Amino acid sequence: MKKLQMAAILVGGFVGPFTGQALAVVLPEFADTFDVSVGQAALTMSFYLFPFATMMLISGRLVRGIPPHKVVSWAYIVTLPLALMLLITPSWWLFVACYAVIGMANAFTTPVLQMMLRELTPPENLGKALGTYAAMQSLGMLSAPFVAGLSSVVNWRLTFLVTASAAAFILLARLPVVAAPSASRQNVAGKVQWLPTLIHMLSGFVVGVGVIGVGFMTSLHVGDRFELDAAARGLVVMCGGAAAFFGSRKIGEMADKFGVRAVLVVSALIAALALACIPISPWIVLVALLWAISVAAAQGIQATVNLAVLASPGGASLLSTVQAFRFFGSAAAPISFLPIYMAIGAQAFWVCAAALLVVALTQWLNPQKSIR
């Protein structure tokens, strides 16, 4: 039973990113179904992401006195019928409303499930546990385009059967019972360290805006430089999610062994170097490899930032707030970097690399007392 409950936590890590990316490759089909423009179809994804990120700013504090298993269970009780509604609703506005509420519900699962892992995992193995959770998030992002594309052969709506099935599994498996964050024995005593917290917020935002959110820029670059079709461009971008899936667990183990600060700084430097090399790489295979390295390293930054936050005073309540900035960054990436790419081409990756160097420097100088 314990293994089944732990599996439910990991499925929770998978289903949030999966649901958020479920429409990415079926926007034309989505637009045809509801007789809306492709622009409106793309806007539908924002209706998931922005409520999700906004609610994450406060979700940790709202539920700090409630046992995590109750919070997550109620979130999936809300998600399950709404996911089924996405399969049948004839109205775009009703679809958008259901999708937005699922996004808000997910704001009470993503950080809270990680709090549960903290309570259930010995401190010396927490990096590995959070790395495994990050790998499942990467699997969700990686598999959503594939599942949606496959479902579109029959009906793209079938993609959301995965969301409904995952919610049902989590509710049936029942999550482990752990103490409310405010009553946790693992809470770090002391006042909130605001400067380190701001540094972690900056790091999460840069990961979102400068790496995870610029998959579109990678697609444009390989299309312009190597004249690849849509399928080949998608395969290159998917290399990032695959690398993050296979690498996140190992990065977490390294944080347990070598310390959070060291792995965080090295991950930022590796991501910066990989992105800086993309514009000058002459072979498509090398570009795919560099993109894979940068995304895996970015997941390493996020996982170690999560570890650092949980090791700080007030970390359980602050985790959702810090993580929200990654998703705000992802949402801001197209608005921020598409004009830059259109103006200077692939050299826009150097802007991303420079931002990651700032992350490496600020984290190296981070005054957080409990980070090692």
* 250-302 tens-digit pLDDT: 888 888 888 889 999 999 999 999 999 999 999 999 999 999 999 999 988 98
Give the DSSP per-residue string, 113-164: HHHHHHHHS-GGGHHHHHHHHHHHHHHHHHHHHHHHHHHTTT-GGGGHHHHH
In 3D space, the residue among 273, 288, 190 whose CA is nearest the CA of residue 234 turns out to be: 288
Q: Which of 183, 204, 222 is the last residue of a domain?
A: 183
- The radius of gyration of the chain's CA atoms, rounded to the nearest angstrom, is 20
Q: Which of 183, 217, 246 is the last residue of a domain?
A: 183
In a shared domain, residues 210 and 351: yes
CATH (domain of 176): 1.20.1250.20
For residue 189, what pLDDT is reported?
Answer: 55
For the stretch 240-263, what's the b/e string if a residue is b when 16 or more beta carbons lie within 10 angstroms of its beta carbon?
A: bbbbbbebbbebbbbbbeebbbbb
For residue 371, what pLDDT is reported?
Answer: 60
Dihedral sign of CA atoms 300, 209, 343, 27 in order: positive
Give a yes or no: residue 188 inside a domain: no
In a shared domain, residues 151 and 210: no
For residue 184, what pLDDT is reported?
Answer: 63
In a shared domain, residues 80 and 223: no
Q: Is 112 in a helix, a strand, or coil?
A: helix
In 3D space, the residue among 293, 202, 210, 211 whose CA is nearest the CA of residue 251 turns out to be: 293
Low-confidence ranges of the chain (pLDDT < 50): none
Give a yes or no: residue 314 inside a domain: yes
In a shared domain, residues 166 and 227: no
* Secondary structure letter of residue 191 according to DSSP: -
Which helix or strand (DSSP H or E) is residue 243 part of?
helix 230-258
For residue 324, what pLDDT is reported?
Answer: 87
Total domains in the chain come to 2
Instruction: Give the C-alpha separation, 293 to 298, whole Å.
Output: 8
Give a yes or no: residue 371 inside a domain: no
